[in-house]
Amino acid sequence: MTTIGNSTAQPSPAEASGLVKMHDGSAASDPAMHWHEKLDDGTRVLIRPIRKEDADLERSFIEGLSPESRSYRFLGQVRASDDLIRRLTEIDYQRDLAFIALHLDAGKKQEIGVSRFSVGEDGESCECAVAVSDAWQGKGLGTLLMRHLIDVARQRGIKRMFSIDMAGNPGMRNLAASLGFVRKMDHEYPGEVIHTLDL
């Protein structure tokens, strides 16, 4: 919360969501933005905002996705280039948001999922995306990542969230339906669909 003199001003979108911008441009997160969650199989995971220091984790995550999962996430095949990893981990938290899901395996930290949104120029809508490691799909992780993303979008006053997905992606179809997204065909790209959620 920003204070001016003896009066209290309204929080900025970043402050309202528990995120502030550091002087070096990196994102710092309030402890309230860290969640210890339990998956459907009882496994415990940590969900928190992604940081630039997570670059190696993000690279391993993308490279570890199956060709099908990578294609679903990026609407085609991509290479985990330095530029892509930089764009995915160095987030402008004044505008955008990304959550990473971490699991500790034999003392080694592993990224097993990520969700993110980017606010449009109108300031009222955002495009979202979510991806879960193949071995961790079907355990409720995608739902957890998206629910936290939706909660923060609402806190920021965003009115509409949407995602563009391959029409043949059954996992995203089921996840979107369970979260209340409305599905419609993209007439410009018949192989794709648009999922939209009014917030």
pLDDT per residue rounded down to tens, the chain (199 residues) = 222 233 333 334 444 444 444 333 334 456 668 899 999 999 999 999 999 999 999 999 999 999 999 988 988 778 889 999 999 999 998 889 999 999 998 889 999 999 999 999 999 999 999 999 999 999 999 999 999 999 999 999 999 999 999 999 999 999 999 999 999 998 888 899 999 999 9
* pLDDT value for 21: 43
* pLDDT value for 173: 94
Whole-angstrom CA distances from 108 to 6, 57, 104, 105, 142 are 47, 11, 5, 5, 22
pTM: 0.83
- CA dihedral over 105, 109, 112, 115, signed as positive or negative: positive
User: Of all helices (H) and strands (E), which one includes residue 125?
Assistant: strand 125-132
Contact present, 86 and 53 (Cβ < 8 Å):
no
In angstroms, the CA 182 to CA 199 distance is 12
* pLDDT value for 31: 63
* 170-179 helix and 141-155 helix, angle to the nearest 10 degrees: 50
The half-sphere exposure of 77 on its side-chain side, counting CA atoms within 13 A, is 3
> Which residue's structure tokens are 């998206």?
146
17: left (phi over 0), alpha (psi -120 to 50) or beta: alpha
